[in-house]
Amino acid sequence: MLDEHRDYVLAVSSEVCVAHLLGQLGDLLGGRLLSEYGASYAESFATFCKRMQAGDAVAARADIPLAPQARRLQGLLSGTAFF
């Protein structure tokens, strides 16, 4: 649980920094994509927490692939995908 929380804190702090830079650049599309990706990541973390609370640590730690929408957004944000 602590490892997952650490990853979440790192992701949130990165999101805050990138959101600030995108705001400074006036990149509205990038800001929207970042918000959508952040929401997908938060949903994934919430699912992890619910599984841990239910005592299903094996399933919680399993590699749960991101939803296709989240993978697309991740690719767009990292510059490895195109429209």
Q: At which residue do the structure tokens 């993978």 appear?
A: 71
Q: How many residues does the chain have?
A: 83
DSSP category for residue 65:
P
For the stretch 21-79, pLDDT in tens is 989 999 999 888 888 888 888 888 788 788 777 776 666 555 455 556 666 666 666 76
Say what the pLDDT of residue 26 is: 92
Q: Structure pTM?
A: 0.54
**Residue 30 near residue 22 (C-beta atoms within 8 A):** yes
For the stretch 57-68, pLDDT in tens is 666 555 455 556
> Residue 17 pLDDT > 80, yes or no?
yes
CA distance 70 to 10: 18
What residue type is 49 in one-letter code?
C
